[in-house]
Amino acid sequence: MILGVLIAVATFVDLNTGLCGIIAIGTAALFRIITKPSKGGYHPFDYYNPLLVGLSIGVRFKLSLLTFILILASAILTYVLTVVLKNLLGKYTALPVLSLPFVIVSSMVYLATLRSSNLFANVLIYHSPVTYFDLPIWINGYFFSLGAIFFSKNIIVGYLISGALLIHSRIMFFLSIAGYYTGALVTGEFNAAHTTTYQDMNYFNYILIAIAIGSIYLIPSIKSYVIALFAVLGSYVVLGATEVLFQNFSLPVFTLPFNITVLFFIYYSSIINSRLSTYTYLKNPESNLDYHINYTKRFELTFPGIALPFSGEWTISQAFNGLITHKGLWRYGVDFVIEDEQNQQFSGSADVLKNYYAFSKPVLSPIAGNVVEVINNIEDNAVGSINREDNWGNYVLIYDLRGFYVKVCHLEMGSVIPATGAYVTVGQKIGCCGNSGYSPTPHIHIQLQTGVNNNHPTIEFQFEQVADNNSNFFNRITPEKDMVLTPVFSSKKKKRIFELLLGDLMEFSIDDGNSKKNETIEVILDENGASCLKCGAALLYFEVHKNVFRFYKYFGPTSSILKYFFHAIPSIPLCDNNLIWTDRLSLNISLRGFMKNFILILQSFYWDIADNNVNCKFTGNYKFETHNITRLLSREVGSTKSEVKIHDKKFIEHIRIQKNGSIININRIKEKN
């Protein structure tokens, strides 16, 4: 909002230019209304290019009847071209339209008016540079270039825009400086004109390129900053070439170098599938970075996830790169056994197969998929002996539609249930633990592999929705030797409690100690079909992922009740176990003011400089606590504690939040019978 206001003020530093811009926007809006496009076809950025065209006309010609007609024609042409190019580029290349329509139409307007002697004789304007402070030319050059973005030679416009950038985004402000001086120094070196190089106002292209690539179309980071500066270096060639070409037609280069450079770099990033590409743009680069880091660490699936192939507690006797058999192509395998409190795998004599706790226990399918191969006729070994010829023993090989195969081995002879070609679901019994193949004692071996044959390499994976023997819940965990794991199953009742349906209305009272108010929350779908809670202007997005209810994105004011929900309930396993679990929140959710801005810009240079972890635990079947701790370089800089009581029928009954010495109480208002 502040950025828009300051830019609007900047355009009206020259009244004639500002009025022409307003006329252009009004014309484009009127044309849209007259043509009545289908619902949903409107976007505010469709007016950005007509605005620029209006400003480019206003900076050259005084407002008159002829100028007014010229603006009408140009604004309509620009609006139509914007919509057409946006459709074509979006459909065939997924590229943004940027300011290409402005460059095309303004260039045509300037060329067309070269023959308009009436315009040139009566309303042509000449602007000379206006400065207010006796600053070095290398400083003034930066502010003049910023002002040139909106066609002004008045340095006060540059001051306003730089202030707007600084308030809106410190990252953008930093990149504007880095881009300008990188481009200016390189150009000055090539042209051997270090003194006069800062007088070229076309260097605003360097500023726009650095900001667009370094912070808008790529997630801010050291890598994005380096790529942005390389783009600025490359744009020296584009800018120099267009200046030479366009001067033959008495045309300014406008933002053509910016458009060419940025579009090529964006398309290159899409070709290489860059992990830095921006897919969800929020209000500024800092928010983008924070959302990206948090989303990556919370949800990004680095490796395939599968369920545990059993129920109850089992111990990992050999994990990835194990010392015994998990080597080479088969290094990503996991062996499970059952142990008692004395870490013994058997009761009674160690020579009797049936004395082993794991022997003949049910083995469950860890994925949903088609059974592609079954072996069921290999005899179980006597304890201490192995079968080298039939190394895998009895096994089931299942194909997962994600593109890999899961092999579950050493099953008991005759216990395999599904036949080749059958479809199995997660948790379905497929056999029993045995001692067949290369297996001296009963255990389950599981691995993921790239193909059907035994010589296909194994791939790394993780287990999903599990708990260890200390009641720690893990949404995903990489297996390690001696871990004791058990699968976590959902509670039907808790699933129903957190089953939020479209149109559900819930009323809460919120008391922060100073005031008390009632808020109504509604379950809605956004324009993309995503489920969220709505309260006033605030939106809180949620999902149920397998056995976990979780919030994952928030838009709205800092004081909304929904933000407190996000604080207190980032996620909750929908089970009856008294579990402990961890999660994390974005810094935007927990911090405010200078500290938030300071940490966010530091994060652009080192993503792990700060974290915002949440420690959670059940204190009863329908109660749990969360403790949100924000750290900078391992030093605590913020903390929030919450107590939550679950409603017995739907969602939340009560939340008590303690932060910075203050207490906030949120209570569900009882519905009338």
- Per-residue pLDDT tens digits for 479-528: 999 999 999 998 899 999 999 999 999 999 999 888 899 999 999 999 88
The structure tokens listed for 449 are: 């592999």
Q: Is 175 exposed, middle or buried (0-12, 13-18, 19+ CB in 10 A)?
A: buried
Helix, strand, coil % in the chain, rounded to nearest 5: 40, 25, 35
For residue 121, pLDDT over 70 is answered with: no
Q: How far apart are CA 48 and CA 39, in angstroms?
A: 20
The structure tokens listed for 405 are: 């195969």
Tell me: the pLDDT tens digits for 208-235? 999 999 999 999 999 999 999 999 999 9
Please give the pLDDT value at position 42. 60
Tell me: the pLDDT tens digits for 251-307? 999 999 999 999 999 999 988 878 888 877 778 899 889 888 888 888 877 789 999
Q: How far apart are CA 315 and CA 120, in angstroms?
A: 87
For residue 576, pLDDT over 90 is answered with: no
Q: Which residues contact 654 (CB under 8 A, 6 or more apart)?
A: 643, 644, 645, 665, 666, 667, 668
Please give the pLDDT value at position 276. 85
Domain boundaries, the chain: 1-126, 135-279, 305-460, 493-668
Tell me: the pLDDT tens digits for 391-444? 999 999 999 999 999 999 999 999 999 999 999 999 999 999 999 999 999 999
For residue 35, pLDDT over 90 is answered with: no
Question: Of all residues in the chain, what percent carry a pLDDT higher than 90?
Answer: 68
Please give the pLDDT value at position 280. 75
Between 34-48, 112-126, 573-587, the lowest mean confidence (pLDDT) is in 34-48
Angle, to 10 degrees, between the axis of helix 155-168 and the axis of helix 137-148? 80
Radius of gyration of the chain (CA): 32
Q: Does domain 135-279 have CATH number 1.10.3430.10?
A: yes
Please give the pLDDT value at position 120. 73
DSSP letter at 384 equals T
In DSSP terms, 517 is beta-bridged to 510
Decide: 3 and 48 in contact? Cβ < 8 Å.
no
Q: How far apart are CA 285 and CA 523, in angstroms?
A: 29
Q: Which H helix or E strand runs over 391?
A: none
How many Cβ atoms sit within 10 Å of the Cβ of residue 165? Answer: 23
For residue 618, pLDDT over 90 is answered with: yes
For residue 673, pLDDT over 50 is answered with: no
Q: Which of 458, 161, 205 is nearest to 327 (CA)?
A: 458
- Please determine whether the domains at 1-126 and 135-279 fall in the same fold group of CATH: yes
Please give the pLDDT value at position 199. 85
- pTM of the model as a whole: 0.83
Average pLDDT, whole number, for the chain? Answer: 91
> For strand 462-468 and strand 305-306, is the pairing parallel, antiparallel, or unpaired?
parallel
Judged by DSSP in three states, 627 sits in strand
Number of H helices, E strands in the chain: 17, 26
- b/e per residue, 391-403, with b = 16+ CB within 10 A? bbbbbbbbbbeee
Decide: 589 and 563 in contact? Cβ < 8 Å.
yes
DSSP letter at 537 equals T
**In Å, how far are 28, 36, 79, 150, 591 from 43, measured between CA atoms?**
12, 14, 11, 21, 32
For residue 315, pLDDT over 90 is answered with: yes
The mean pLDDT of 343-365, rounded to a whole number, is 95
Q: Which H helix or E strand runs over 296?
A: helix 285-299
Q: Which H helix or E strand runs over 547?
A: none
Q: Which of 521, 544, 523 is nearest to 532 (CA)?
A: 523
The structure tokens listed for 29 are: 């809006």
For residue 40, pLDDT over 60 is answered with: no
Tell me: the pLDDT tens digits for 41-62? 567 788 999 999 999 999 999 9
Judged by DSSP in three states, 13 sits in coil
The mean pLDDT of 365-378, rounded to a whole number, is 96
Decide: 181 and 203 in contact? Cβ < 8 Å.
no
Q: What's the topology of domain 305-460?
A: Glucose Permease (Domain IIA) (2.70.70)
DSSP letter at 125 equals -
Please give the pLDDT value at position 202. 92
> For strand 610-620 and strand 623-632, is the pairing parallel, antiparallel, or unpaired?
antiparallel
Which CATH number is correct for 1-126, 1.20.1050.140, 1.10.3430.10, 3.90.1570.10, 1.10.3720.10?
1.10.3430.10
